[in-house]
Amino acid sequence: MLDISALQSPRGLESQSFALPLVTLYARMIEDAYFLHRYRDTTILRFDTTRAFVHFNGRGLLAFDPQGRVLAANGEGRALIDAHAQCTPPAPIWVTQLFEAELDDLLALPRCEPDQLRALRLRASGDIRFAALIEPRGVRARQRDATVTGTTRDMATDLATDSATDATGLPHDPVAPASTPALDRLAGDDPAMQRLLGLARRLCRQPLNVLIRGETGTGKEVLARALHASGDRAGGPFVAVNCAAIPESLIESELFGYLPGAFTGGNPKGMRGLIPQADGGTLFLDEIGDMPLALQSRLLRVLAEQEVMPLGAERPVKVALRVVTATHRDIGALIAEGRFREDLYYRLNGAELVLPPLRERADRRYLIQRLFAAQAAEQGVSAPLRGDAMNALLDAPWPGNVRQLKSALAFALATREGETITVHDLPESCRADRVATPAHLCDIGDTQDDPAKA
């Protein structure tokens, strides 16, 4: 029984607008407490739209058997099942029908991330939910006993390992160890990024050319370098060319090179072009949508024949390279306007990778932690990131995406007034409408995430 009566009720009805949400909240908490007790010997998936609330008071509960069949759900869980049934009837009976994840991925949640949480995308709507797994009571007891038994035995080994790591003088990275492949470091548990990286892992050793699309600052060159470092051409050169930064009058000689005396004002010894320099490796053409139309036909021949003709040369030079291109433009629209060759587009687009903007990523906390640790190590400082600063960074819209985030962190580290990075140390664009918070707030290692606005 929940008693919300008062000794003296006010004459007005305004208090009822507060009483109803209060009763609804506590009724849900009572229902959830009964659910957790009733299914304590069953695997339970707990989820919420906000990462910080999942362990504390996650609204959704789904109990399922070892095969993944849904056995029961609380109110939020039933609402999710009903919404799924309306989009794609009939009603789902397996937990993997609700979330874009395999059953093994769900069962591994307690061991997959430091906070035992993972962002999952709903199959019906595409929305993000943060989820944790509550294992059956017997499993938890066995794990607790195993932990107690192994603690003493492993303590000496752990201390020795930690001591050796500290002796190197390198900054610790709690998110990704040094042995993690280059592609794995690019994202946390964001479902869209995990799908993209899964595709990138399959492509990195294939001879296909790759087109990377995404807004400015989303990390297209970083992804291109990770593809190169993870593939068979990792030992070869990685040559990056910004097609929008080279003057149109020079781009041909810069890309293809020229022989001595090819034109007035050139290097008397000639110059090896950027495309020949990428022989045996990867040529990265950034902002390919800005390449002059006249030069596109020559690039098409390079891709088709795997050879390049330097200016002033009589014979072509053979090259063996992989081409990765990137753009923030709509190539389809450029083709329709006659500003980009359709045949070149199909040569470049052997496979396409689309990077989501930072504001849509559910792993913003992961990125902030990694970039902050890297920036602090680069500047040789140790300044924890206070909770109010982390919340401001999580809430910022980031029109400049990851590039803007890196600049904001570098600015905060360079201009901080104390030993801790607070919201007041961030650029103005990151702290609009923010107020000061108590100085004892947790540092970056304990800060929780906000919901992903995916």
pLDDT tens digits for the chain (454 residues)? 666 666 566 666 666 677 778 888 888 889 999 999 999 999 999 999 988 888 888 899 999 999 999 999 999 999 999 999 888 888 888 999 999 888 998 998 888 777 788 889 898 888 889 999 999 987 655 555 554 445 444 434 443 334 333 333 333 344 444 335 889 889 988 889 999 999 999 999 998 999 999 999 999 999 999 999 999 899 999 999 998 888 877 888 888 898 887 777 778 788 898 999 999 999 999 999 999 888 898 899 888 888 998 888 888 889 999 999 999 999 999 999 999 999 999 999 999 999 999 999 989 999 999 999 999 998 888 889 998 999 899 989 999 999 999 999 999 999 998 889 999 999 998 876 554 444 444 444 444 444 444 3
> Are 361 and 452 contacting, i.e. CB atoms less than 8 angstroms apart?
yes
Residue 54: count other Cβ atoms within 10 Å of its Cβ: 24
pLDDT at 448: 45
Residue 59: count other Cβ atoms within 10 Å of its Cβ: 20
Q: Could you report how far apart the first and last alpha carbons of the chain are, in Å?
A: 39
Give backbone dihedrals phi and psi of 295, rounded to 5 degrees, phi first: -80, -20
Residues near 18 by beta carbon (within 8 Å), at least 6 away in sequence: none
pLDDT at 12: 64
Any idea which residue has 């492949």 for tokens? 181
Verdict on whether the full-model pTM lies above 0.85: no
pLDDT at 408: 95
Residues near 176 by beta carbon (within 8 Å), at least 6 away in sequence: 184, 185, 370
pLDDT at 172: 39
State the Cα–Cα distance between residues 258 and 394, nearest whole angstrom: 49
pLDDT at 169: 36
Q: Which amino acid is at 376?
A: A
Residue 165: count other Cβ atoms within 10 Å of its Cβ: 12
State the Cα–Cα distance between residues 93 and 81, nearest whole angstrom: 9
State the Cα–Cα distance between residues 308 and 76, nearest whole angstrom: 61
> Are 73 and 92 contacting, i.e. CB atoms less than 8 angstroms apart?
no
pLDDT at 433: 54
